[in-house]
Amino acid sequence: MPELPEVETTRRGIAPHLVGQRVSRVIVRERRLRWPIPEDLDVRLSGQRIEAVERRAKYLLIRFEAGTLIAHLGMSGSLRLVEGALPPAKHEHVDLLLESGQALRYTDPRRFGALLWSDDPLNHVLLASLGPEPLSEAFDGERLFQLSRGRSMAVKPFIMDNAVVVGVGNIYASEALFAAGIDPRRPAGGISRSRYLKLADEIKRILALAIERGGTTLRDFVGGDGKPGYFQQELFVYGRGGEFCKHCGTTLREVRLGQRASVYCSRCQR
């Protein structure tokens, strides 16, 4: 699933080509996504000028004069710029045709993503209860420490909780816990303030680095320019169960936490 760095990579790739453009037409070839695409989307968007392309957690917010298109990439979706006359391939469900002659094309093989319309996106039911952005000043180790008190759940699903902090998905939670030397199985409430300060710093560092590298290439993900991300080449634990730790040579172990595979080093992470 595209995580925060992949979504931010997409935003940065498409924004320069969208802001200031007007939508001339919307073509919907398949409305049955996770939630049906609004029947009147073409009426709402035709002639509308795009004012900004923003991100909240893993949602892209394409702001128009009259409202905002909320886009989610689901499990394997993508948004990219193509020439408007380019014939659609399989799973290319929606085109926003621009006056420039280009089209913003939404592709979603599994149809688990979403394209929704809102007049007040930050108060939309999908976004209203989200925690702070991990790269913002509102997120730090003190927040993790305070929210973790009395929590018996494992630290990895704790930092993946979107009410705690948004966008720390499976890949980057695994990598940040390794970098901070914390065993992902440890109860969240048993970790000290100093270790949470370190963990928050590593979450920020790793997410920023992944964005700089263009995200992680996993299965179908490509950025808004159609190019893959390269952070996968720098993964230390995610997806490497049974391989040797790059730091100490110990065989990496794999367990399941919160119904997700979690790989860690029993020597480097305590």
**In a domain? residue 134:** no
pLDDT digits (tens, 9 = 90+) for 126-170: 999 999 999 999 999 999 999 999 999 999 999 999 999 999 999
Whole-number pLDDT of residue 232: 58
What's the residue count for the chain? Answer: 270
91 belongs to an annotated ligand binding site = yes
The verdict on whether residue 151 carries a ligand-binding annotation is: yes
| pLDDT at position 53 | 98
Q: What is the pLDDT of residue 259?
A: 86
Same domain, 86 and 175: no
One domain for residues 154 and 259: yes
Name, in order, each residue with C-beta under 8 angstroms of 207's C-beta and a sequence gap of 6 or more.
4, 5, 134, 135, 167, 168, 172
Spatial distance between the Cα atoms of 75 and 65, rounded to a whole number of angstroms = 29
The CATH number given to whatever domain includes residue 64 is: 3.20.190.10
Whole-number pLDDT of residue 233 = 59
**What is residue 228's predicted lDDT score, i.e. its pLDDT?**
45
Q: Which of 59, 94, 123 is the last residue of a domain?
A: 123
The pLDDT of residue 201 is: 98
Residue 184 is part of a domain; what is its CATH number?
Answer: 1.10.8.50
Is residue 234 in a domain? yes
pLDDT of the residue at 215: 62
Residue ending a domain, among 123, 149, 182, is 123
- pTM of the shown model: 0.89
Q: What is the pLDDT of residue 218?
A: 40
Is residue 176 within a helix (H) or strand (E), and if so which, with residue range?
helix 170-180
Q: Where are the beta strands (DSSP E) in 84-231?
A: 92-98, 102-107, 114-118
- In this predicted structure, what is the pLDDT of residue 231? 54
With respect to residue 270, please indicate whether it lies within any of the assigned structural domains.
no
Domain termination residue (choose one: 88, 123, 158)? 123
Q: Name, in order, each residue with C-beta under 8 angstroms of 262's C-beta and a sequence gap of 6 or more.
A: 156, 170, 174, 184, 185, 254, 255, 256
Residues 18 and 98 grouped into a single domain = yes
Q: Are 150 and 251 within one domain?
A: yes
The pLDDT, as a whole number, for residue 223 is: 47
Write out the chain's pLDDT in tens, 270 residues: 788 999 999 999 999 999 999 999 999 999 999 999 999 999 999 999 999 999 999 999 999 999 999 999 998 899 999 999 999 999 999 999 999 999 999 999 999 999 999 999 999 999 999 999 999 999 999 999 999 999 999 999 999 999 999 999 999 999 999 999 999 999 999 999 999 999 999 999 999 999 988 765 444 444 444 444 445 557 999 999 999 999 999 999 999 998 889 999 999 999
What positions carry a catalytic annotation?
A: 2-3, 58, 260
Q: Are residues 254 and 187 in the same domain?
A: yes
Parent domain of 218: 141-264
